[in-house]
Amino acid sequence: MKIKELIDKSYINAVERGFYDRQNSVIGKMKALSCFTEEDIEYVKLLYKTTKIMLIVTELSEAVENLRLGKPEGEEIGDTIVRIGDYCGREGIDLEGQLEHVMKTNKERPRLHGGKKF
């Protein structure tokens, strides 16, 4: 499966399963009421984006927990990729382009750059 296809399928599935219903409803209601500024609405959107990113982190935490329990981590890694695809689809992120950019940047960095132990 190509990256773009993964993103499209992940996002469409999330939409079809209702994972954006509450967000869309809340933001729609805020827009309909005159007591919220555009800044307020953008702040709520930022909170939803933050939540989506933390759900990606949660999947990785579940993979680590599986390792600690002696269980396979593959499904949780897969869930992580699906959540990343969903996020990129919603936010219009060109993941393939970003990956190419990061890979090029990393290739140009010195060995063990940053001076950290790990």
Distance (Å, whole) CA 9 – CA 94: 15
The 10s digit of each residue's pLDDT in 8-51 is 999 999 999 999 999 999 999 999 998 999 999 999 999 999 99
State the average pLDDT over residues 81-91: 98
pLDDT above 80 (res 107): yes
Residue 80's pLDDT is: 98
Contact present, 81 and 6 (Cβ < 8 Å): yes
In this prediction the pTM is: 0.89
Distance (Å, whole) CA 87 – CA 5: 14
State the average pLDDT over residues 76-86: 98
- Token duo for residue 43: 């702040």
Three-state SS string across 40-61, please? HHHHHHHHHHHHHHHHHHHHHH
Distance (Å, whole) CA 39 – CA 74: 40
Q: What are phi and psi of 69, to 5 degrees?
A: -90, 0
List CB contacts of 80: < 8 A, sequence separation 6 or more: 56, 59, 60, 63
pLDDT above 80 (res 118): no
